Structures are given as C-alpha cells and as structure tokens.
Structure 1
Amino acid sequence: MAKRVFLDTSCGNLIHPWGGKLKLFFVLFLLISLYLSIPVSSVLGYYTNMPASVVLGQPDFTSGIAGNGGINASSMNNPLGACSDGNKLAVSAANRVLIWNTFPTRNQQPADLVLGQPDFSTETANIGGISAQTLSTPFGCWTDGKKLVLVDQANKRVLIWNTFPTQNQQAADVVVGQPDFITSSGAATASKLNLPVGVLVYNGKLIVSDQTAHRVLIWNAVPTTNGVAADVVVGQTNFTTGTTGTTASKFFNPRGLGAYDNKLFVGDTSNNRFLIFNNIPTSNGASADVVIGQPDFTTNTANNGGLSCAAIFGGQSPFIPISNGRLFLADGETRRLLIFNQIPTTNFQAADIVLGQSDCAASVTGTTANTFGNQPIRMGAEVNGKLIVGDQANSRILIFNNVVATPSIGLYPYPEAAGNGRLRMRGNVRLGQWDRYSLTRSKLTVSVNGGSEGMIDSLYGLREDAHDNLYEFFHEYDPKPPPGGTEGYTLKFHANSSNADESYAFYFTPFEIKS
C-alpha cells in the first residue's frame, strides 16, 4: 500500500521507498541579503520605473495644476524643497512652508500649519515686511523632528527654529547669513550668503551650499546667535572669493547636499556631476575623492557619453538623501532619480535603479505616478522606507513607499522519487511583482545539514502569477542519514534578489514533512 506524505507542524517521520525512518526538517528562508539576518515582515526594494504611492498638492496622479483648488492647506505651487524626520513633513513652496505633523498617507492631504504666512490663503513674499516670521522663496530644509533649519533663498539667509514649529507663522530663533532678521543683502564672506540653496545638519555641523558664490560653507556647530561666521569653506581657498572651476576642489553652481558615514556629497550642478568627499572637510579648499556623472574631475559634459545610468545632466535638488548605504541623486534635466544601492567608490559609476523613466536611456516628461514634469525635480528625505520628491512642474510632492509584497518560497508537501535511491524536492519562489524582479539559479541556493550553500539543481517555469514572478525549482538529494547515526536531515533554501534592500531579510516558520 502506498504511503501518504503530508505537511504537519509536529515532529514526525518520512517513510521512504527504501524503508527506515528518517526525520526531514525543511527550513525555509528567503534572504534578501547574503550577510544580514534581520527578521521583518516586508522588503524594501525600489525598482526601475516604480510608481509613487501618495501625491500631495493634487487630488490624483494625473493632475498638475499650480494651486489646484486655490491657495489652501491642500494645494501647492512649485515646491522647491522638502524634509522629514519620518514623522513630520515640511515642504517649501511659493513663499511658505507647509507642515504635516504626522506623515501624510493619502492624496492631497491638507497640511496642519504654515510658516511664512499668517494663514493658508496667502503666498506673499515677506508679507508685512521682512522679519523672523516671513519668507521669500524658501528652498532646502532639514529637520530631525526637534529643530527645523530652512534656506530662505531670496532673503539670502538660513533660518533656524530651535524647537519644531507648532503654530502658523511662528518666528525663527536664529538667522545665519545676515546680522539680523531685517537685512537681506548678499555677499561672499564667512558670515554672509550670496544665494543659498541646500542645507543640512550632520554630526552637529551646519552645512550650506551657496550657489552663486560657488562654495559650500561649514559651521562646526549649529549657530545659536545671529550672523555667526562659518568655520570652513569648500570650493574656494578663502571666504572672499567666488570663482568657478572644474577640478576636484572647485564647483560651478553647487546646490545639493548630503552626508553619510562622515562623507560629504555635493551636487555640482553646472559641472553636471556629483562630488563625494570621503571625509567631511575640516580645512578650506578640500578636494573631492570620487566624482559621479563624469569619468574624471576635469570634464563636465552633460550626459557624458550619452544618456545612461552613469551620466548626469544638471542635478538641481537641494538635498541628497542617503539611507542605509543607498544613495539617491536627482538628475534634474532628464527628470529622473538615480539610485545607487551602494555608495560609489570609483568615478563614473553607474546607478542601479532609475525612477521617473522606463530605463536609463529614456528622458520623457509626464503627469503620472511614475513620471515627472518638465522642470528639475527637488528631492527630500528618504526616511523609514519613504522617498519624498518635489515634482516642481506639476506642483506636487510624490511619496514613494518603498515596500512591496513579501516574497515567499513554497515547497510541495512531499518529496518524490528521483531514481538511484535519491529524492527530489520541488518548490516555487514568488518574487516581487511581474517584470520588476528577477531570479537566477545562482541566486537560489540550498544547504544540506548545515553545510555550505550550493546552487539548486534546476530553476524553470517562470510565469506571471497574480502579478508576481513565480519560479518553479527542484533539488535532488540523497536521503541517507548523516554521519553519526542521527536521523535529523535539514534542507535550507536561500533566495537572493539583487535589487532589494540589503538591510532586510525574511524568515519563514520551519516545518517538517512526515508520513
């Protein structure tokens, strides 16, 4: 009489055709990283041409009207910057900053308060006269949820709120770049700004890009009084010159700023490149270590070598997010975001993923969930798996929720005879969404009884199943008890996807099969 084999969560035995009892433990792991083992319930995995999940400033993903519905808490006009700590969100647009006290989760969600204006119905520059409460073309911003730091560009200053604002038109506490809150003149000195764009705070330092002075200023501590002079200048050898250049130590209209792992990232817009300083500069005129978008430090050709994953044309975002070792760059003139899964260490390195385009050779505009309008895009933070992007031409903020359905490995409920005393285990892997993720045999491995991992015997039958990639596989093995007389027998399957976030992994409850 044939034996029935079924799935059971209790201990049991498998009676195979050759007689004898043998426990079979099938432990299933879907690991997104070969090295990290952090159990979570979902995977972070951006992919090329990924659509946004939430839109602010518009009722849907096909609308792109400035001030849609009038000037109010739900509309916006040409957003230039955004920042978030993962909970609060601030967006600078049209002489005001809109603030959401909790991170928005639905389309056209109204803001909770506004800075720079007495209410949500006005957008007047320096309304009532320049002061600690007014704004004129606010640009880049930074927040940790406690402080808020904002570039007030046309007033040639940076404003600091020592505690995060809680009421409309709340006055700033400190001004940088001006001696007081009523002055707005520009200059290239240690205590003045010419045209600030980007700002961030990193390891207690305040860092500001001063575009038309072609420099980046660093304060070794966040100023607590007005008009404090910077400590370090990058892009110039002193605080009173403002020349351009195409070398490792010069800029031409720097805008974007980012910092990670004590590295400084600068978007050198008119040189069509991004520069990486492997250490935050501590002396004037420091040289960059790596260039993105160009093969060397002396060329600045737009889309050098043609439009590709390695080329840059502009790059005008005031902020450069870096999260978990992943770098996000706004390639503004081609209306796309480039994602590097690891921080580049060599010049002209190609990006791994592109958002806003179908591939790295495309440069189209649009008003959809996965395209941007015909103006430079302004990137905000990437926090808690959410990427914030200002689509200036479409007067909207796009939020990409970097979470996809949990992939899974499934095994058939019983092994089958493979001949010559061997057994064959069949299964399948459901990975991501159709045509967005891929799996090769080298990325699906098996370990027998804790031994080293090797490729499974066969991966075949790729098909679309419920909009997922579904791969069939099998692996054959000798079911003889391992040395030492123990009956335990373990197969551990491991699937690796190259375009998923390496910080996350998946665990599935072990089970056994028995007769």
Structure 2
Amino acid sequence: MKKLVAGLALTAMASACGGDGTSPVPASTVDAGAPLVSVEDGDATSTTPTTSSGTDSSRDASSTDLVTTTSLTTSTVPATEDMNQESLPGSSDKTQPSGSSPSADPDVRDCLIAALGKQVYDELANRQPSAEEQQAMGPCMRPTQDNTEPAETTAPKEPTKPADPNSSQPSQDQTPEIITVTYPSTSYSVAPGGTSGFFMTAQEADLTLSAVDFNKTGGPLRFNRPSGLTTDGTRLVMTDVFNNRVLIWNSAPTHTNQAPDIVLGQPNFTTNEPGNGRNQLNWPLSASTDGTRLAVTDTYNDRILIWTEFPTSNAEPADIVLSGGANANPSKSNIRWPWGVWTDGSKLAVASTESRSVLIWNSFPTYDGQPADLLLTGSGHLGTPRHITSDGNSLIVGDHNATAGGVNEAGTFFWNSFPTTDQQPYDFFLTDPLGGKEPAGWLRGDFSDDQRLLMMGSTLHVWDEIPRSAADRPSLSNLGQAKAGGYNFRWGDYSTVAEVGGRVYITTNGSTLVVYNSIPTSATQSPDFVIGASDLYVDANIENFVMSNPVPVSNGKNLFASSDFDNRLFVWRNLPNESGAAPDVVYHFCWYRNEETASRQQCEDVFGPWDNTLYGDNFALAGGTRLLIWNELPLKGNLPAYDFKNGVGSVPFGELTGVAMDEHYFYLADKRAGVVYVWAGIPDGTHEPIASLTVNQPTGLSSDGTWLAVNSTMGHSAQLFRVDQIESSRASTTVGGVGAFNLPQGTTVDKGHLFVADTGNNQVHVWQDVDDAIAGQSADVILGASGTSDTQPEITRNQMFWPAATSFDGNYLWVGERKFSGRLVRFSPIG
C-alpha cells in the first residue's frame, strides 16, 4: 500500500508544470481533512491522514460576472510534525552543492562518468573536484532557474513492506504517491447559463479553451507544434502545423525574440484558419528549399504546394499544386496525407504517408498534378513514411509504422545511393541508432555545411558522415530525457532539425524552437536559447495551458478536463465565458526526484487519466491501471479519497479506458478485458461488482441514470444498456457501426440526449431523443460539419478536428479534440 501526498513546490517543478517558476512561492496550507484510501494490487486498507492544500485566493464568482485567482504553486503533505522531509523530492536543509562528490543516484552517476571518465569519477570519492571538473559536472547537476544550486536529496525508496495502516505518514520503506497542484493566475468572465432550445447542424461554437481563440495564433512567436525546418544556408523556414502557416526568417534567428519576416498560408501573423486555396494551408508538416524553390506538404489537403521563386510576401500563392488520387493505393499519381518532402531544386521526393509510398520526380515538376517518375514502397515494408532526408546522393526515410522487422515499429530506411529505378530496394533499416532496443523514434534531419548528418529521433544524433549500415553508430548522441545530464527535446511527430551557418535549430513537441550556437560536442550539452517559450526547459504547451487530449466533464457550475497525454487535470471553478481562459487549478499526476530530473521532465509515478466522471460531490479519474476517486469535487487542490492501483478487490485492472457514475451505480471499463464492471455505489475494495458487461474494447462510458452508453472505437459504434436492467437481462442496443461512424472516441448520454464524437469523420452526431438513435434514425444534428459527407478536419468555429470527448451540462456542450488538434470547444443551444 502506498501513501498519497502532494509534492513539494520546487521552483523548477513549477515551471516545468506550467507555473510561473521565476521565484519560490511559500506554501500556504490549510487542513483539508479528506480521508484517503490508498490501494495497491486490490488491497483495501483505509487510513485517514490530514491533508492540506494551497490557500484558495479566488473570489467566489457565484454572484459576479468575473472570476480572478492569483498565481500560486503549492503542494500538500500529511500534516505530521515529524515528517522526514528529506524523503521527499527537493527538500533538504543542506547547503553543500550536490556536485561536490560522486552521486549515489544511478542516473546522475552515469552522467558524471560520461562527463569525467570512470577513473576521475572514482577518484572523487576521496577528494574535491577541481574547477575544471566542477564545470564538466555542471550539466549533471543542472541549476534551478534562479541559478541556485539544487540541494542534495534522498530519493524515496521502493516499498519493501506495507505501512502501518494506522499511521498518518509514509513509512521510510515506501514511495509516496505525489500529486502536485498549481493555481494559475486567472481572470475570466463567467458563463451566465440559462440557455434554451437545442443545437443546429453546422452551427458555430461559442469559445475555445486550450487555444488562444478562434482564428488567432497569439502572434509570430507563439507556435503550436512547429515542424518542417529547412534552409538555404541563410534563411530559415519552419512550418507551424496547428496554426496552418509557414514562417520564414530571411536571416536565421540568433536570439530568442527574433520574429519571422514572412508568413505563408495566412494574411498575417495573428490568424490561423485553414483553407484549400493556393495561398492557404491545412496542417502543413514539412518544407524543403534549395534557395530558389520552396515545397511544402499541405498534409490535410492531400497536396504539395510549390513556389518556383522563393516567396517574398505574406500569403503569397503557390505556383504549382501536386495532388491526386482517390484511394490509398501506392501510385505515382497518388498523394495521400503527405508528411515529408525534400528537394535540391533538380529532384523532388515526397512521402505519401497514407498510400505507404515515396514518390520521386527525377526533374523538378513544372505543372499542376504532374505525376512522379519513380515509386518506392520499400519492398512493401513502408508503413506510414513520415520524413525525408537527403544530400542528393542518398535517401533516408523515417517511418512511424515500418514492417521491415516483421512487426509494426518506428524506424528509418536508408538508400546508400539516391534511387534511380522504380521499387529500388533499400540498403538497410535502422531502429535504434545506439544499437539498443529502446524506442528511438524515426529519424529526420539535415546535412551540415561540412556534410555531417544531424538527425532527430528520441534525441539528437550526429554522424561525422552518412552511415552505410545499421552498425554505424553516431559520433555523438545527446543523453536525452531518460538519462541525467541529458536534454529533453520533447521529441515526437513534429521534431525536426536544420543547421544554418553552424547553428543547429530543433523543433520540439513542446511548441518551441531550441537553438545551439554551434554543433554540440558533448552528450550533456543543452541548447543555448529557445524561441517560443519563457525558458529553455519549459514546455510552451503547458505554459500556455494547451492540452493534447482534453476530456471534459461539467456539472453546469464547474468544468473539469483531464488529459492522458499531459498527465493532468484542469479545473475551472466556474464555467468560462471567453476563449483562452486559464484554469483555476491544475493537478499534475507525476513528480520529480530532484531539480535535474525536473529540468528533463523525467516523471515518476506517471498517471494518464483516459476518462473522467462526476456525480454530485463525487469525481473519478481512470486510466491504465489506476483509479482515483474523490468524495469532494477537486476544486481546491484536495486529494482523492481512494487511489486504486492494479485492481479493486478481486477485480484486476488491465487497461482502464472508461468510468461513469449515476445515482445507482459506478461503472468502470477495462478495454483489455473487454468488460464493463458495475458496482452498487462507490467501490471501496470491500464489495464486489454486481454485474460485468461484455463489450468489445470499450473506450469511454457515460450514464444519465436511465441509459448507460459504452463507446466502442474499434467497433465504430456505441452500445446502450438500460440502467434498470443492468442486474437482470443486461441486454444492449448498438448505435452506429462500420460505415456509420469512423473510429468514434466518445459517447455521452445526458438528459435523454445522445452525443457521439465521430472522431475519424470530424463530426459530433446529436440525437435530441436517445430513443430515436436506438430506433435506428439518423442524428438530428451534425456539429463540426455541414453534413455527414463533410469529413474534412479544420479548426474553425463550425468545423472540428478529431473530436473525441463530449460533456453536456444542460446549458452547454463541451467537445474535446484529440491528438492533432487539442482544442476544447463549447457550443450553446440556439434554437
């Protein structure tokens, strides 16, 4: 059994988790007195520690039109006078810098050995380091953001025996479960409620959270998943994917506030609406230039835009458009969902991701729709090719779902000579550049002026020359996020790298552009400056309260949104009535052992909530193998009453993907088991489910007390159970199916209405009466589209981009978009 406490508020942690992070904030606490049951492997033993939380500094907005809260980062621990604070991360009264002697932390030890060598590391057990040695050790003991050295900490130990169930503090033999709570500075108008009527097809949304606003970027240096770096040796081009634009610096930036000079796809630097004109874009992933020509993958328009002369003005239209193909079969005229592009001005190569192929034009295209000359499928091993890197003499293709190894895996195909014939076989396939078996991503990158190969995967790799076999290792690889002294590049779909005049530019999934002033020479070397965030170690998405997979739930007064990708719960104590409103409270479901791990966002005890629910004062989060239940709504940083890990009673957790409550039952979906468990009341580990419903891969639950809706993404459907028959017949009715929905992620039933988030079709289907859906009638309303045939994803007021979760509170419908968007939009009934 593990205790649940909230982590100490380190300055660096505050920054990494989206707090201010510029100065320490004293933790002001009040007794919350919430009972806690912490359960592991189904062992239900209750304790009642006293918890505490940051002082609530917000005004009660129940009778006002504006709510304001003051920024605060705080944390809560059991209120015991003899708590050993050295057992918690970041707490120590020692003043000796931790870099003064070899560390017992294995991550730090590995970093020190890499920086000093094993012999010097061993010597430092008996002597003080020299000034030069201290400098080399610095990256392993990264200072905090106010430049004070991190205090030496004693990491929590793994549990070896259960704690005393009557104890109100963690034993020295167990690791505390830590939840960090931050209180952003917020001020937003409050929704008045009192709506009437119903929804209408293609109606516009009122507002969006997890974004600046509709058709607003926040300016030239506010990015949203930057990618697609390319250069001619002077200029720097970068795609800003979610903002539907391409940014151009006429001279590559040399400092953090240097704004781009030109924007393509938009008339100015403040708008971001998509479009399909020659001067518009919809989710541009990659770009490539030879200094005269510029090619851009307009990914969700299934086309390549080409400027035959380098653009010199905003929104300049493309000269050539390459598109075509009505299906996803590999073909020289099929361009489907293209991610990667490369050109040297003579040849052109395109990764047609959905059609599992790479297209090559032997000479640069000269007219619209010109088919390719060559087709590559990697002997059928290309899965979803993403990025292309070349020096004109060789070809490198990164693939997210390659099958070269017999299974779907991320990796990179190498052609040692640039292909000149159809279906020319690749020479080798590479998964982990370091020769291990760890997930390393697919590679994408650039050749430096001196012909070194710089590639981004899970970290930055540098080869002195292009590898000729999978055995050729990089000459340098940053230690990355996983090892002490490394830098977290927040690698992912949008990571790219380019070298301009010796500087190395890298885009991150944290919506930043980080820059080395020269090609790095050390595995522990961090970039020199950042563009797009307040600090080199900050994730701009977190800093700006942008979620990746928001799952909303509202009771008509409060709004909650959890995200499995971000490991967070956002709480608005009142319903916002304006776009971009920051939450009042943020729960962070991970903690850091010290300030160095915080700088890398190397979390411990990560919890990614897949679904949430509330009923009355009860609130729950479920995901993976963990279930948290509050018996008081989490509005002030209060801790959950129950924390079940791996199981409840005799029920094991495989992969939790749904949770719901009503006045009768508590429901929990396990996708891996294919079961929805039903308890009479809140489970506490002492009573068993009263029913188990068999459902094919359930992925989301909702109940209004009359109907239980079970979403089935892979079944392209939802199953509806009558609540009053749960314990008897357990019969269900299927709504949707193959051809009706396309991989729906969420289904909500509320007040007799039914809402299905049809993710793959970028629509929300709405039935005013759930009985009509059960009877097989079409939806009364389609939100996010003009009708069922309109399936194009777009981030406009009346279009949607991968809607995945909905919540209707009687006044407003909240819709969370997943993965390739991340907006949380609100619709009001209008007629």
Range of TM-score over shorter length: 0.5 to 0.7
Aligned counterpart for 2:576 among listed residues 94, 97, 104: 104
Give SS of 1:136's match: coil
Give SS of 1:370's match: coil
Q: Does 1:175 align with 2:643?
A: yes
Within a 5 Å distance, the mapping from 1:43-192 to structure 2 comes to 43-62=196-215, 65=224, 70-72=540-542, 74-93=544-563, 94-117=566-589, 129-130=604-605, 135-144=606-615, 146-151=617-622, 153-154=623-624, 156-168=625-637, 170-176=638-644, 178=646, 190-192=650-652
Give CA-to-partner distance per residue, 1:377-432, whole Å, 9 cap, x none. 22232013210111122122001122x3xxxxxxxxxxxxxxxxxxxxxxxxxxxx
Within a 5 Å distance, the mapping from 1:408-423 to structure 2 comes to none
Match of 2:692 in 1: 233
Within a 5 Å distance, the mapping from 1:242-261 to structure 2 comes to 251-261=695-705
Q: Does structure 2 conserve the Cα–Cα contact (< 8 Å) formed by 1:178 and 1:192?
A: yes
Q: Does structure 1 conserve the Cα–Cα contact (< 8 Å) formed by 2:750 and 2:808?
A: yes
Match of 1:212 in 2: 672
Q: Does structure 2 conserve the Cα–Cα contact (< 8 Å) formed by 1:79 and 1:391?
A: yes
> Percent identity of the aligned residues?
19
Instruction: Give the C-alpha shift of residue 348 in structure 1.
Output: 3.0
Mapped to 2, the partners of 1:42 and 1:87 lie a distance apart of 13
Mapped to 2, the partners of 1:114 and 1:313 lie a distance apart of 32
Distance 1:118 1:128, change over 3 A: closer
Give SS of 1:108's match: coil
Mapped to 1, the partners of 2:727 and 2:570 lie a distance apart of 36
Distance 1:354 1:360, change over 3 A: same
TM-score, scaled to structure 1: 0.55
Mapped to 2, the partners of 1:232 and 1:147 lie a distance apart of 21
Instruction: Give the C-alpha shift of residue 362 in structure 1.
Output: 1.6
Within a 5 Å distance, the mapping from 1:381-400 to structure 2 comes to 381-392=807-818, 393-400=820-827
Q: Does 1:293 align with 2:736?
A: yes
For 2:607, give the aligned amino acid.
Answer: S
Distance 1:127 1:172, change over 3 A: farther
Deviates more, 1:389-398 or 1:255-264: 255-264
Q: Does structure 2 conserve the Cα–Cα contact (< 8 Å) formed by 1:291 and 1:347?
A: no
Q: Does structure 1 conserve the Cα–Cα contact (< 8 Å) formed by 2:617 and 2:632?
A: yes
Q: Does structure 1 conserve the Cα–Cα contact (< 8 Å) formed by 2:709 and 2:749?
A: no
Instruction: Give the C-alpha shift of residue 142 in structure 1.
Output: 1.2
Give CA-to-partner distance per residue, 1:87-111, whole Å, 9 cap, x none. 1111112111111111111111011
For 1:292, give the aligned amino acid.
Answer: V
Give CA-to-partner distance per residue, 1:217-274, whole Å, 9 cap, x none. 1111112x35754231001xxxxxxxxxxxxxxx321112222352222112222222
Distance 1:196 1:118, change over 3 A: closer
Q: Which runs of 5+ in 2 are unaligned?
A: 1-192, 218-222, 226-509, 512-532, 534-539
Give CA-to-partner distance per residue, 1:276-310, whole Å, 9 cap, x none. 2234444488321x22114xxxxxxx21xxxxxxx
Q: Does structure 2 conserve the Cα–Cα contact (< 8 Å) formed by 1:49 and 1:354?
A: yes
Match of 2:653 in 1: 193
Mapped to 2, the partners of 1:150 and 1:126 lie a distance apart of 22
Match of 2:152 in 1: none
Give CA-to-partner distance per residue, 1:316-361, whole Å, 9 cap, x none. 12x51423x2211111211110011111354532111100111122
Mapped to 2, the partners of 1:123 and 1:320 lie a distance apart of 37
Distance 1:360 1:166, change over 3 A: closer
Q: Does structure 1 conserve the Cα–Cα contact (< 8 Å) formed by 2:206 and 2:827?
A: yes
For 1:103, give the aligned amino acid.
Answer: L
Instruction: Give the C-alpha shift of residue 71 in structure 1.
Output: 4.2
Q: Does structure 2 conserve the Cα–Cα contact (< 8 Å) formed by 1:142 and 1:148?
A: yes
Q: Does structure 1 conserve the Cα–Cα contact (< 8 Å) formed by 2:757 and 2:806?
A: no
Q: Does 1:355 align with 2:783?
A: yes
Give CA-to-partner distance per residue, 1:358-377, whole Å, 9 cap, x none. 1122211011112222x4x2
Q: Does 1:275 align with 2:719?
A: yes
Mapped to 2, the partners of 1:167 and 1:176 lie a distance apart of 22
Match of 2:744 in 1: 315
Q: Does structure 1 conserve the Cα–Cα contact (< 8 Å) formed by 2:550 and 2:824?
A: no
Mapped to 2, the partners of 1:73 and 1:48 lie a distance apart of 35
Within a 5 Å distance, the mapping from 1:307-346 to structure 2 comes to 311-317=740-746, 319-323=747-751, 325-344=752-771, 346=774
Q: Does structure 2 conserve the Cα–Cα contact (< 8 Å) formed by 1:207 and 1:216?
A: yes
Q: Does structure 2 conserve the Cα–Cα contact (< 8 Å) formed by 1:174 and 1:226?
A: no
Q: Which has the higher contact order (CA 8 A, sep 6+)?
A: 1
TM-score, scaled to structure 2: 0.35
Q: Does structure 1 conserve the Cα–Cα contact (< 8 Å) formed by 2:755 and 2:806?
A: no
Mapped to 1, the partners of 2:202 and 2:690 lie a distance apart of 42
Match of 1:365 in 2: 793
Distance 1:125 1:114, change over 3 A: farther
Match of 1:512 in 2: none
Instruction: Give the C-alpha shift of residue 145 in structure 1.
Output: 5.8
Give SS of 1:217's match: strand
CA RMSD, 1 decimal: 3.2
Instruction: Give the C-alpha shift of residue 118 in structure 1.
Output: 8.1
Mapped to 1, the partners of 2:612 and 2:194 lie a distance apart of 32
Match of 1:378 in 2: 804
Give SS of 1:270's match: coil
Match of 1:35 in 2: none
Q: Does structure 2 conserve the Cα–Cα contact (< 8 Å) formed by 1:326 and 1:341?
A: yes
Give CA-to-partner distance per residue, 1:115-139, whole Å, 9 cap, x none. 12589x9999997633xxxx52212
Give CA-to-partner distance per residue, 1:121-173, whole Å, 9 cap, x none. 9999997633xxxx52212111246222111x23x1211011122444x4322
Give SS of 1:344's match: helix
Mapped to 2, the partners of 1:348 and 1:262 lie a distance apart of 19
Mapped to 2, the partners of 1:123 and 1:198 lie a distance apart of 30
